Amino acid sequence: MKIASRRLFCIAAMVALSFSGGTAAGEPNPIPLGAHAFGTGYAELTASWLEWSLAIPTSSNPLLDPDGAFAALGQSGKVWFLAGTVGGTATRNVTIPTGTALFFPIVNYLWVNTPEYGDAPWSAAQDTNVRGILAANMDTAYGLTLEIDGRTTANVNALRVSGEVGDCTLPDDNIFGVPFDPVPHKCVADGYWALLAPLSAGSHTVHFAGNVAALLFWLDVTYHITVRGH
């Protein structure tokens, strides 16, 4: 049995750069691939994003959130995650602490490895097989858009990342609607991702959209973000 993790679930970014807090004058947003937010890079963040998004029950999962009420669930540290949707539009309002970086997929495609449903046990060979499947689907992405405070990001197609492998623990009330063995499952995603340096205190708008032809998938998401001052 092949579950929605690979057929239906697409969610919804080159120089080295790092920062430890605040936003340096002229710092690009999104920051380039190879950059680090508080010591954590794009590939590692993709795994953390998967672990975060899949651990939250359906009833309060930010991927299904129509207005941002659940955006702060599971957030900690100096990097917060934003969610896309499982398809379609959403407009959300969220308040974040000052000095907080943001990380999210514009579009992505993920795999949860499920031996209980017939997947091969995780191995180097399975990793290669899974990444090939994910890449073939993500190669059909088009119409990618990222706007930050009304400014269009010109290099969205350069923000492609095949991430590190995570250990995802899914609750009984998970977004796939099927039971999982009560152990962490290897999970990985390929997609287009954005890592935003901390925004200044005040109000901001982040808008992203995209399509994946092979999956008949599209999304269009707007976040109205309030950054709390000190």
Highest mean pLDDT of the ranges 1-10, 136-145, 152-161: 136-145
Q: Check residue 28 and give its pLDDT.
A: 63
Q: Which strands, in side-by-side order, build the sheet including 141-148?
A: 88-96, 217-227, 202-212, 141-148, 151-152
Question: Is the pLDDT confidence value at 120 over 60?
Answer: yes
How many structural domains does the chain have? 1
Q: CA Rg, the chain, in Å? A: 17
Q: Which pLDDT score is estimated for 1?
A: 34
Of 17-21, 27-31, 56-60, 69-73, minimum mean pLDDT range: 17-21
The mean pLDDT value for 105-109 works out to 98
User: What are the φ and ψ backbone dihedral angles of 139, each rounded to 5 degrees?
Assistant: -65, -15
Mean pLDDT score, 48-60 = 97
Residue 48 has pLDDT above 60, yes or no: yes
List, in sequence order, every beta strand (DSSP E) within the chain.
18-19, 36-37, 40-41, 79-81, 88-96, 101-112, 141-148, 151-152, 160-162, 166-168, 185-196, 202-212, 217-227
More confident residue, 13 or 84: 84
Instruction: Report the alpha-carbon distance of residue 40 to residue 79 in Å, rounded.
Output: 9
Residue 167 is part of which domain span?
A: 4-227
Nearest to 220, CA basis, from 199, 230, 206? 206
149: phi > 0 → left, psi -120 to 50 → alpha, else beta; which?
left
Where do we find the tokens 């499952």?
185
**Single-letter amino acid, residue 63:** L
Average pLDDT over residues 135-145: 98
pLDDT band (50, 70, 90) for residue 27:
low
How does the average pLDDT of the chain come out, rounded? 89
